[in-house]
Amino acid sequence: MPKVLIIGAGGVGRVVAYKCAEYPEIFTEFMLASRTKSKCDEIASDIKADLGYDKITTAAVDAEDVPALTKLIKEYDPFMVIHVALPYQDLTIMDACLNAGVHYLDTANYEPKEEAKFEYSHQWAYHDRFKAAGLTAILGCGFDPGVTSIFTARAAAHFFDEIHYLDIVDANAGDHGKAFATNFNPEINIREITQPGKYYENGQWVEIPAFSIRKDLNYPDIGPKPSYVLYHEELESLVKHFPTLKRARFWMTFGDEYLTHLRVIQNIGMAGIEPVNHKGTQIIPLEFLKTVLPDPGGLGEGYSGETSIGCRIRGILDGKEQTYYIWNNCSHERAFQETRAQGVSYTTGVPAMTGAMMLIQGNWEGAGVFNVEQFNPDPFLDVLGKHGLEWHERVGVDLEL
């Protein structure tokens, strides 16, 4: 089987590495690379201790340095790159993959450093180059985006003639015991949720103030949670690939205490992404805040509770209205026991490994740049539960939306 190169050694990189090591018949060996090699070495050491897998090479690389990336990829000669570093680095890693002639997979779409706005246009523009090179680039193969898009594809293929209304619902009902912490990179997380909300309805995008639409939704095995409409990247690709959609929204849960901390951070300027002068040194407030907040990769130990992420869909089958709900719940404790990472990292890392497996085994194929909902959802979902993310579905349920 071919080698893979994983770029990124945070919580998600840890999970991807662990899950690859759990399937040595597919991932016979791999490289783990990051700006900080010691993080890669720690993960490799943990995997050897926990699983006995020792076919991991580690390396230091700057993921924004295309020549250095190209050199590393060519020297290691992997079948593909699994990119789980920062979304700022999507384009440089895609460039390096083209230069080296290898396939590409990521979990989040590109976002410019200087603007808190993410959209797929930057990466979709690479389609012709990847197609001409005979290479595959898989975009957004985490959970959301990723599994939520594959859930939608399953619904469209097997349960509806047309899907009309899509609500992606994301609850984290876990408790990490910190006064305030983000479950993935604070810089990315805070930029994402503080921008204006947006949803798709009747052929156009409707922009709303952040956190201005709230509804208490019931989540399986969790109960009611305050949920807010915000913009999430998979909406952009889903309304493109499922043109029968009349409305598409994304909901995420936030507690009152979390929102209070967030308002304070914004009000005192710590969510800013423009440089400010501090004692003669230019610093970016949000980058400084990231330095003092808890490391998301270190939240796993003692993290209790679970996540619940799914799709609630309304549409037409045989001329009649039908409702459908498909979801996964993931235990933070179980994720930590298996990978020494918390559940949010786990729900992103497992699909990334599964998507890589789909490409290696030929279940997903094609030259160009693709979002995951463009592939056959069935082989992916056939093994996702085995890989640690069991999913459930119900037809004819009250969607609450």
Q: How many whole angstroms from its chain centre is CA 69?
A: 22
Q: What is the pLDDT along the chain (401 residues), one digit of tens a residue?
A: 799 999 999 999 999 999 999 999 999 999 999 999 999 999 999 999 999 999 999 999 999 999 999 999 999 999 999 999 999 999 999 999 999 999 999 999 998 876 667 789 999 999 999 999 999 999 999 999 999 999 999 999 999 999 999 999 999 987 787 778 776 677 777 877 888 999 999 999 999 999 999 999 999 999 999 999 999 999 999 999 999 999 999 999 988 888 778 788 888 888 888 898 988 999 888 888 888 888 777 777 878 899 999 999 999 999 999 999 999 999 999 999 999 999 999 999 999 999 999 999 999 999 999 999 999 999 999 999 999 999 999 999 999 99
Structural domain count, the chain: 2
Q: How many residues does the chain have?
A: 401
In 173-269, DSSP assigns E strands to 197-201, 204-208, 214-219, 223-229, 247-253
**Domain CATH for 319:** 3.30.360.10
Same-domain status, 228 and 316: yes
**Domain around 336:** 147-340+386-395
**Domain CATH for 11:** 3.40.50.720
**Neighbouring C-alpha atoms within 13 Å toward the C-beta of 86:** 16
Same-domain status, 160 and 79: no
Same-domain status, 123 and 164: no
User: How high is the mean pLDDT of the chain?
Assistant: 94
Q: Which of 209, 215, 172, 194 is nearest to 266 (CA)?
A: 194
| Per-residue confidence (pLDDT) for residue 184, from 0 to 100 | 62
Same-domain status, 134 and 152: no
Q: Buried b / exposed e across 288-317, counting CB within 10 Å, b at 16+?
A: ebbeebeebbebbeebeebbbbbbbbbbee
Q: Which structure tokens are listed for 125?
A: 């523009």
| Per-residue confidence (pLDDT) for residue 1, from 0 to 100 | 74
Same-domain status, 152 and 135: no
| Per-residue confidence (pLDDT) for residue 116, from 0 to 100 | 63
Partners of residue 209 on adjacent β-strands: none
Residue pLDDT, tens place only, 30-69: 999 999 999 999 999 999 999 999 999 999 999 999 999 9
Is position 355 within any domain? no
pTM > 0.85: yes
- End position of a domain, from candidates 120, 139, 158: 139
- Alpha carbon distances (Å) from 354 to 55, 153, 292, 297: 19, 16, 33, 21
Residue pLDDT, tens place only, 324-341: 999 999 999 999 999 999
How far apart, in whole angstroms, are the C-alpha atoms of residue 220 and residue 392? 10
Same-domain status, 171 and 309: yes
Residue with tokens 């898989």: 138
Residue pLDDT, tens place only, 267-310: 888 888 889 898 899 988 888 888 888 877 777 787 889 999 99
